[in-house]
Structure 1
Amino acid sequence: MTTDTQPSLSPEQDAYLRERSDWMGAYLVLHAWGVIALAMAVFIAWPNPLSFVVAVVVIGGRQLGLAILMHDAAHRALFKNTRLNDTLGAFLCGWPVGASLTLYRPYHLSHHRHTQQAEDPDLILSAPFPITKQSFWRKMRRDILGITGYQRRLEFFRMEMGDSPSRWQRVKKLWAAEKYFFLSNLAILAVTTAAGVWWAYFLLWLLPLLTWYQVISRVRNIAEHAVVGNNDDRLRNTRTTLTNWGMRMVLAPYWVNYHLEHHLFVFTPCWKLPAAHRMLMAQGFGPRMELAQGYLAVLRQAVSKPHDGPKHGKTGDPRKHAALI
Structure 2
Amino acid sequence: MAAAPRVQPDAFFTPDDWSALTHRSAWRGLWSVAHCWAVIGAAMVVGALWPLAIPLAVVVIGTRQLGLFVLMHDAAHAGLHRNRKINDWVAHWLCTPTLRAYRPYHLQHHRYVQQTEDPDLVLSAPFPIKRSSLARKVWRDLSGQTFYKQRFAHIAQRIRARTEGESAWRLLGQEVAKDRRFLVGNAIGFALFSAAGFWWVWLLMWLLPMMTWLPLVSRIRNIAEHALVAQNEPDPLRQARTTHASWLARAVIAPYWVNYHAEHHMFTNIPCWNLPRAHRILKRDGVTSRMEMESGYVALLARAAPAA
Q: So what's the TM-score if we normalise by structure 2?
A: 0.90
Summarize deviations over 1:112-165 as a string: whole Å, max 9, x none. Answer: 001101111100000000001100001111111111111211135468989572
Contact 2:6–2:236 under 8 Å retained in 1 = no
Distance verdict in 2 for CA 1:184–1:80, change over 3 Å: farther
How big is the shift at 1:11? 1.8
Shift of 1:170: 2.9
**Structure 2 letter corresponding to 1:63:** Q
Are the counterparts in 2 of residues 66 and 94 from structure 1 also a CA contact under 8 Å?
A: yes
Offset at 1:228? 2.4
CA distance in 2 between partners of 1:86 and 1:3 (Å) = 26
2:119 pairs, out of 106, 118, 121, with 121
Q: Does 1:46 align with 2:46?
A: no
Give yes or no for the alignment of 1:131 onto 2:132: no
Following the alignment from structure 1 to structure 2, what is the Cα–Cα distance between the partners of residues 21 and 41?
31
Instruction: Give distance in 2, aligned partners of 1:206 and 1:79.
Output: 29
Alignment of 1:202-217 (within 5 A): 202-217=203-218
Distance 1:87 1:276 in 2: 27
C-alpha displacement of 1:176: 4.1
Instruction: Note the C-alpha offset of 1:298.
Output: 0.6
CA 1:272–1:4: 2 relative to 1, 3 Å: closer
Distance 1:76 1:160 in 2: 36
| 3-state SS of paired residue (1:121) | coil
Q: Report the CA distance shift for 1:110/1:197 in structure 2 as closer, same or farther (over 3 A).
A: same
- Identify if the C-alpha distance between structure 1 residues 234 and 61 changes in structure 2 by more than 3 Å, giving closer, same or farther: same
Secondary structure of 2:294's partner?
strand
Distance 1:259 1:291, change over 3 A: same
Aligned residue among 234, 237, 242 for 1:235 = 237
Instruction: Tell me how far apart the structure 2 counterparts of residues 237 and 261 of structure 1 sit (CA, whole Å).
Output: 10
Question: What is the Cα-based RMSD across aligned positions, in Å?
Answer: 2.3
Find the aligned partners of 2:258 and 2:114 in 1 and give their Cα distance: 18
> What secondary structure, in the 3-state scheme, does the structure 2 residue paired with 1:235 have?
helix
- Matches for 1:252-291 after TM superposition, within 5 Å: 252-291=254-293
- Does the CA-based 8 Å contact 1:129-1:227 persist in structure 2? yes
Residue 282 of structure 1: how far off its partner (Å): 2.5
On the 8 A contact 1:229/1:290 being kept in 2, the answer is no
The Cα shift of 1:289 comes to 0.5
State the partner residue of 1:146: 144
Contact 1:116/1:232 (<8 A) preserved: no
CA contact (8 A) 2:7 2:266 kept: no
User: CA, structure 1 residues 64+279, in 2 after alignment: closer, same or farther (shift >3 Å)?
Assistant: same
TM-score by length of 1: 0.86
Letter in 2 for 1:54: L
Match of 2:223 in 1: 222
Deviation at 1:182, TM superposition (A): 2.1
Mean Cα displacement is larger for which, 81-90 or 240-249? 81-90
Please show how residues 133-212 of structure 1 align to structure 2 within 5 Å: 133-157=131-155, 163=162, 165-167=166-168, 169-212=170-213
Render the CA deviation track for 1:146-199: whole Å, top value 9, x for unaligned: 111112111354689895724565345334422222232233223322432012
Distance in 2, matches of 1:114 and 1:238, equals 12
1:226/1:302 contact within 8 Å kept = yes
CA–CA separation in structure 1 for the residues paired with 2:271 and 2:288: 21
Identity between Structure 1 and Structure 2 (%)? 47
Q: Distance in 1 between matches of 2:93 and 2:101?
A: 14
Query: Match of 2:243, SS?
Result: strand
- Alpha-carbon contact 1:70-1:101 (below 8 Å) kept: yes
The corresponding residue for 2:91 is 89
- Aligned pair count reads 300
CA distance in 1, matches of 2:6, 2:219: 31
Greater displacement, 135-144 / 159-168:
159-168
1:71-82 matches, within 5 Å, as 71-82=73-84
1:34-80 CA-partner distances (Å, limit 9, x unpaired): 111111110111112xx011011001010000110111111111111
CA 1:5–1:106: 2 relative to 1, 3 Å: closer
Residue identity in the other structure for 1:109: L
Look up the SS of the partner of 1:22 in the other structure: coil
Secondary structure at 2:27 match in 1: helix
For the Cα contact (< 8 Å) 1:239–1:259, is it kept in 2? yes
Distance, in Å, in 1 between the alignment partners of 2:214 and 2:61 is 8
SS in 2 for 1:227: coil
